[in-house]
Structure 1
Amino acid sequence: MKEISCKLLVIGAGPGGYVCAIRAGQLGVDTVIVEFGKPGGTCLNVGCIPSKALIHAAEEFEKIANMAGGKGPLGIAVAPPTLDLTKTVAWKDGIVSRLNSGVAGLLKKAKVKTVQGWATFRDGKTVEVETETGSQVIRAEAVVIASGSVPAELPFMPFGGPVISSTEALALSEVPDKLAVVGGGYIGLELGMAFAKMGAKVAVVEALPRVLAQYDAELTRPVLKRLGELGIEVMLGAKAKGLSTKGDALLVETADGKNAKIAADKVLVTVGRKPLTEGWGLEQIDLDTVGRFIRIDDQCRTSMRGIYAIGDVTGEPMLAHRAMAQGEMVAEIVAGHKRGWDKRAIPAICFTDPELVTAGLSPDEAKALAGEIKIGHFPFAANGRAMTRQGEDGFVRIVARADNHLVLGIQAVGQGVSELAAAFGLALEMGARLEDIAGTIHAHPTQGEGFQEAALKALGHALHV
């Protein structure tokens, strides 16, 4: 097979990789992208997009189920619903397929050459790709590693049989009667709550003293309340020990050191993700690492000249939008533009029920950095739009410096608050002060008014609470 030469080679067509390749193509850079799976990576195929589709289906099913017999407060009565998960998954797969085609079309439009297969480094400028038709050698002036991450396994309970990762959970043909979730982080709770809404009896096992430990207790309180309403059992300070002999239960060591069994048809393990660094021949180029991750600087350059790394393979936060922003930046650097990574805040969203959004610093982090701070807290119980959506359980919180009112962090918990993430991120990137947010007219009636009201509260003159 003929050798390919290009200016830029991107390894991995996930959110970071395909954005990098598209932007490079737009800038006239001769670009090749290599992907062994479908375009879109984990996020599009077995992560962000399909999980949100499943979560939406679960929400719709629960709404209808709650209306059965006229039990709900809206005066709507319907017959008890049924769920065909096979059809739900087929609908989800249809969305993924359309987006796959969309990404492929965008790459083609940007004149990016796509090579399907697994790439292995020969040296810092050359990779060999195993394709369906044989081996393909690609030489490039610059290389971007965007190989992403994969679910982390427990060594004593590898994936297979009843033990599944988020990937298999999103492709089940039927709702399990009993589901045990190992790990109380955002992936475990998002999927656990979805399956509980679809009728599964769910138990969550978390080794730490509380679930969603990366968020502060005030922010997660509405989620904990909802877990109880859904009948989800939460075992804190508990450690999974493995499967029972028959494979029909999860063995657990409880917080007080006792042994317990959780009956389970499926055990969903969500104990984090690890960078996909094996099998790429990275030992041939000897990149500096930080733990398991590739070390990069503020331009995503690795320890070898001409080699960049972006996204999950470079460490936390493992977020698709971080990878996208890094990919766009690297493409422009390769094209000769002056760029650097100087993001004030990267919003993070947990799609539980209710949703969580954080951007910038938490109150404790802000206090440690700036000393005296102001906090504005506005509850959705005082927001008309939230009440009409039956989503008044939650709030918006703003954290700012006390001296000059510079906003340092914004958090929210509530129904649909993921859509406020853009406003939160923009405020922080633009260096907004409390007065800027308070003085911006927010449309009524919307939940976004809570953002303005939180700023007013921090200034001492909230209008609606």
Structure 2
Amino acid sequence: MVVGDIATGTDVLVVGAGPGGYVAAIRAAQKGLDTTLVEKDAYGGTCLNYGCIPSKALITGANLAHEAGHAEEMGIHADPAVDLSAMVDWKDGVVDQLTGGVEKLCKANGVNLVEGEARFADEHKVRVAHGGEGQGSESIEFEHCIVSTGSRPIQIPGFEFADDPIHDSRELLAMDSVPDRLLVVGAGYIGMELSTTYAKLGSDVTVVEMLDDVLPGYEDDVARIVRKRAEELGIDFHFGEGASEWQNGPDGGVVVTTETEDGEESTYPADEVLVAVGRQPVTDTLDLDAAGIETTEQGFIDTDDRARTEQDHIFAVGDVAGEPMLAHTASKEGIVAAEVIAGEPAALDYQAIPAAVFTDPEIGTVGMTESEAEEAGFEPTVGQMPFRASGRALTTNHAEGFVRIVADEPSGFVLGAQIVGPEASELIAEIALAIEMGATLEDVASTIHTHPTLAEAVMEAAENAMGQAIHTLNR
């Protein structure tokens, strides 16, 4: 034991207070377990402080400004001025309110909060180094441990985030002025959300992507609608190109060089550069070897359907446990881990995990696509409802996209859905519930939906799959 080191013990030690960790800690405490939560940065983790919440706040602000300035068709004429510094202050206020709420919830449920960075000393003990000179450290012994240290942005060679003007998403969300020229490396969901946001705020946005389209992993017709809208906003895409280097430009900005697989080079001027090529798990700081836990080549921790690692008393939840790297998945995994520790028969079921992309228009998906259903041995039937046939969508002046529902034709059971259009992130919840409860197309179609609403499109898609749609042509 080092000088100044103290030792304590706990039933459940949770390392990391993101959406997986703080939820796990609260549930464990609710089950009567002595629970300690260690966090080195901020309660709520990346999602609440630097990702999900602040990005959606800026997206909301950018959408409001853009719509106000482009509503002539509705008889509205305005030229809004955007004060990004004030918008960021408002965003920070939202974050502060939520992070304070997380801390209060933890304390109210009896969770012991410890600030510092934890590293495993052995299979039942961590050493926590407290920040600040002379703050010392402490050892915490545990019966069970839940690792939930999240992920960090992936850096690419030559584009280190410490070098101004190279930014990760966290830094871009904290800017106090809108850059005239923004170059984005990566057209995944983070790159597309922030590209759209800054284009609406007034930036001249260029996106370079190694692959041949935006949003890899989403179906072509879904991605195509988002890309077309982004192009209408003035975003300039260059596919099949990877960023190779950058240097200072003659006009005070920078020049980014890209290269194709064939070695062809191109250059693009910019004032700020966002690198958004994915995220990697934060497991290299934990000394997992001391706990007898190995990671995959990519740094993830393998877990079973109860979130247990190869050490049955140590669990891993959230981004450190691999795909799907989603905040709500982390929370569910945290709940399962805590309940398993409490001796309950909890287990993970990933068949109905929704995902959303907050682009313009939004994307919401859950369950299987048609091709995935075929590969799984089902006989899929598909129904689709275009938003251009939705009265409510037309009244919002956002009628791009569609609702598509996938079901097993013999049984009628709902298997999945893909939505691209207004409020897709909200609409997908209905179909997630349908999958979770084993609902059929008839169940969805027979449920009376309020008129006029966007949700009617879900009902119409189900009816379309049954060949009895009223407000769109049956397939």
TM-score range, shorter chain: over 0.9
> In 1, are the aligned partners of 2:120 and 2:288 still within 8 Å (CA)?
yes
Q: Which amino acid aligns with 1:73?
A: E
Q: Which amino acid aligns with 2:18?
A: G
Is 1:37 aligned with 2:41?
yes
> In 1, are the aligned partners of 2:123 and 2:292 still within 8 Å (CA)?
no
Give the aligned partner of residue 267 of structure 1: 273
Is 1:98 aligned with 2:108?
no
Is 1:352 aligned with 2:359?
yes
Is 1:459 aligned with 2:459?
no
Give the aligned partner of residue 19 of structure 2: 15
Give the aligned partner of residue 77 of structure 2: 77
Deviations for 1:148-200, whole angstroms, at most 9, x for unmatched residues? 00000002221121110001010011111101110010000000000000000
My pick for the range that moved more, 199-208 or 252-261, is: 252-261
Q: Distance in 2 between matches of 1:255 and 1:2?
A: 55
Deviations for 1:285-328, whole angstroms, at most 9, x for unmatched residues? 23133332101011011011310000000101100000000101
> In 2, are the aligned partners of 1:275 and 1:293 still within 8 Å (CA)?
yes
Q: Distance in 1 between matches of 2:365 and 2:266?
A: 35
Give the TM-score taking structure 2 as reference length: 0.95
Give the aligned partner of residue 130 of structure 2: 131
Give the aligned partner of residue 289 of structure 1: 295
Is 1:158 aligned with 2:167?
no
Give the aligned partner of residue 190 of structure 2: 187
Which runs of at least 4 in structure 1 moved beyond 3 Å after TM superposition? 254-257
Q: Distance in 1 between matches of 2:101 and 2:63?
A: 27
Give the aligned partner of residue 116 of structure 1: 115
Q: Distance in 1 between matches of 2:166 and 2:121?
A: 36
Q: Distance in 1 between matches of 2:384 and 2:377?
A: 19
Deviations for 1:217-272, whole angstroms, at most 9, x for unmatched residues? 11122212111110100111111111035461111124764321111111100000
Q: Distance in 1 between matches of 2:346 and 2:19?
A: 19
Is 1:425 aligned with 2:432?
yes
Q: Distance in 2 between matches of 1:28 and 1:285?
A: 26
Of residues 339, 348, 354, the one that matches 1:341 is 348
CA 1:45–1:378 in structure 2 vs 1: closer, same or farther (change >3 Å)? same
1:461 to partner: Cα distance: 0.7
Give the aligned partner of residue 264 of structure 2: 258
Of residues 438, 442, 445, the one that matches 1:435 is 442
Q: Which amino acid aligns with 1:16?
A: G
Is 1:364 aligned with 2:371?
yes
My pick for the range that moved more, 50-59 or 237-246, is: 237-246
> In 2, are the aligned partners of 1:236 and 1:255 still within 8 Å (CA)?
no
Deviations for 1:29-79, whole angstroms, at most 9, x for unmatched residues? 100000001100000000000000011111011112224xxxx1111223x
Q: Which amino acid aligns with 2:13?
A: L
Equivalent residue of 2:375, what SS? Answer: helix
Q: Which amino acid aligns with 1:349?
A: A
Q: Which amino acid aligns with 1:76?
A: I
Equivalent residue of 2:65, what SS? Answer: helix
Give the TM-score taking structure 1 as reference length: 0.97
Q: Distance in 2 between matches of 1:419 and 1:205?
A: 30
Equivalent residue of 1:3, what SS? Answer: strand
Q: Distance in 2 between matches of 1:63 and 1:376?
A: 31
CA 1:238–1:126 in structure 2 vs 1: closer, same or farther (change >3 Å)? same
Give the aligned partner of residue 27 of structure 1: 31
> In 2, are the aligned partners of 1:235 and 1:254 still within 8 Å (CA)?
no
Q: Distance in 1 between matches of 2:106 and 2:123?
A: 24
1:452 to partner: Cα distance: 0.5
Is 1:213 aligned with 2:216?
yes
My pick for the range that moved more, 279-288 or 153-162, is: 279-288
> In 2, are the aligned partners of 1:83 and 1:198 still within 8 Å (CA)?
yes
Q: Distance in 2 between matches of 1:381 and 1:141?
A: 57
Of residues 46, 68, 71, the one that matches 2:50 is 46
Coordinate RMSD, CA, aligned: 1.3
Give the aligned partner of residue 248 of structure 1: 254
Q: Distance in 1 between matches of 2:291 and 2:343?
A: 24
Q: Which amino acid aligns with 1:105?
A: K
1:283 to partner: Cα distance: 2.3
Q: Distance in 2 between matches of 1:4 and 1:359?
A: 43
> In 2, are the aligned partners of 1:370 and 1:401 still within 8 Å (CA)?
no
Q: Distance in 2 between matches of 1:256 and 1:294?
A: 36
Q: Distance in 2 between matches of 1:102 and 1:335?
A: 25
Q: Which amino acid aligns with 1:130?
A: A
Equivalent residue of 1:289, what SS? Answer: coil
My pick for the range that moved more, 102-111 or 417-426, is: 417-426
> In 2, are the aligned partners of 1:399 and 1:407 still within 8 Å (CA)?
yes
1:401 to partner: Cα distance: 1.3
Q: Distance in 1 between matches of 2:420 and 2:426?
A: 11
Equivalent residue of 2:70, what SS? Answer: helix
Deviations for 1:349-392, whole angstroms, at most 9, x for unmatched residues? 01000000110011111121135321001001111111100111
Is 1:319 aligned with 2:345?
no
Q: Distance in 1 between matches of 2:435 and 2:307?
A: 22
Q: Which amino acid aligns with 1:161?
A: D
> In 2, are the aligned partners of 1:377 and 1:458 still within 8 Å (CA)?
yes
Equivalent residue of 1:87, what SS? Answer: helix
Of residues 212, 231, 251, the one that matches 2:234 is 231
> In 1, are the aligned partners of 2:165 and 2:272 still within 8 Å (CA)?
yes
Equivalent residue of 1:464, what SS? Answer: coil
Equivalent residue of 1:38, what SS? Answer: coil
Q: Distance in 2 between matches of 1:243 and 1:166?
A: 19
Q: What does residue range 400-411 of structure 1 map to in structure 2 within 5 Å? A: 400-411=407-418
> In 2, are the aligned partners of 1:299 and 1:339 still within 8 Å (CA)?
yes
Q: Distance in 2 between matches of 1:266 and 1:366?
A: 43
**What is the total number of aligned residue pairs between the two structures?**
460
My pick for the range that moved more, 215-224 or 163-172, is: 215-224
1:335 to partner: Cα distance: 1.2
Q: Distance in 2 between matches of 1:256 and 1:301?
A: 45
The unaligned stretches of length 5 or more in structure 1 are none
User: What is the aligned-residue identity percentage?
Assistant: 46
Give the aligned partner of residue 201 of structure 2: 198
Of residues 304, 308, 311, the one that matches 1:304 is 311
Q: Distance in 1 between matches of 2:39 and 2:227?
A: 40
